Amino acid sequence: MMFIKGKTMLLFTPGPTPVPEFARVAMAGLTLHHRTPEFEAIFAETRELLFKLFNTDEVIMLASSGTGAMEAAVTNLCSDTLLNINSGKFGERFGKIALASGLKNVEIKNSWDTPASVEEVLEALKANPSIDALAIQISESAGGLRHDVEAIAKAVKEINPEIMVIADGITAVGVERIDVTNIDCLIAGSQKALMLPPGLAILGLSNAAVAKIGKGKGYYLNLASEIKQQSKNTTAYTAATTLIIGLREVLKHIEENDGIGKLYCDTARRAKACRFALEAIGLHSYPKTPARSMTTIDDVNASEIRNILKEDFGVNVAGGQDDLKGKIFRINQMGLIEPYEIIWVVNAVELALQKLGRRDFDGTASRVFSETYFKTMIEKSREK
């Protein structure tokens, strides 16, 4: 919750997401020097918690936004040609990073509602033997879609285990359990599912990735220098101390409140209930394979709905970018969200449709939300 012009506003954009009060309070302490035993202890604890979240062989924190980690992954893990999956703005970005770094790229481009298939990835690999890394989003935030990264990564490794698989999990790590068996680099960013202010990026690395990094590439984003320092609980350059303190708090909070499994389960239930509620009032879910991180609706009145949500009901949801500007709206599902907040959001969307003269308000959205979200509880009490 935040205040705009004295009015409360629910922040429901899929990044940045609201920072919980306990994290804000933790970050309000005195500034710690990063080269001290006090901070190194915090760093070590955060690193341990990250290993549990990522399930990877190595974990590196960078003082940068998510894109910095995308660039570090590409420059350190690709030395010839990058295959990037472009089903949206963030997938496109991987290709731009490759070119800006003097690498070649091959791109699989689909419309923003369409995930990449295993077949088209394998075809691209066959046609371009110089590809030595694949970069893909787990959840492509541009259109709210989920790529089947696990299946694609498995197929890639079966063809050539040397190909590095880079998975952008900026809107997936902390949202759902990710099978990292065939993933060499898994990326997260502080301001999305991790519920923190922007400025911290995290990379989970496989042993194969660490081996391929070798001496590393570049200077600030040289992953070899960071691996060397962070294994000793310090960083090559000044650490994002305040954000790391916040991250430790968020991860500890999750652990102490029934664990990450509970968070994944609540997120899945909420995303499903929200989509069902909006479909029940005649709205259309945009992506062919919806991600759990956000609910994405394409609609001719997308802009009007967003405005009404903001002006009349104090709800801030995101729109679309580029070709999807004015055509979609995206409701965040990442982080700690109370059911009463999201029920208000779906109810407000139904009221917005009433205001636009599209349907008579009868409370369908909030009813369907509750019936879906609280399904097990409702069924159990009916059996009695």
Ligand X SMILES: *Cc1c(COP(=O)(O)O)cnc(C)c1O
Q: Which residues bind ligand X (CB under 6 A)?
A: 15, 65-67, 90, 137, 141, 168, 170-171, 189, 192, 198
Nearer to ligand X, 141 or 235 (CB): 141
The distance of closest approach from Cβ of residue 273 to ligand X in the complex, given in angstroms and rounded to an integer, is 22
- Residue of this chain nearest to ligand X (CB atom): 66
Q: C-alpha distances in angstroms, 324 versus 141, 170, 228, 284?
A: 12, 21, 43, 14
Nearer to ligand X, 69 or 343 (CB): 69
Nearer to ligand X, 67 or 105 (CB): 67
Nearer to ligand X, 171 or 347 (CB): 171
The distance of closest approach from Cβ of residue 93 to ligand X in the complex, given in angstroms and rounded to an integer, is 7
Largest CA distance in the chain: 67
Nearer to ligand X, 193 or 213 (CB): 193
201 has which bridge partners? 62, 189
The distance of closest approach from Cβ of residue 140 to ligand X in the complex, given in angstroms and rounded to an integer, is 6
The distance of closest approach from Cβ of residue 244 to ligand X in the complex, given in angstroms and rounded to an integer, is 16
The distance of closest approach from Cβ of residue 198 to ligand X in the complex, given in angstroms and rounded to an integer, is 6
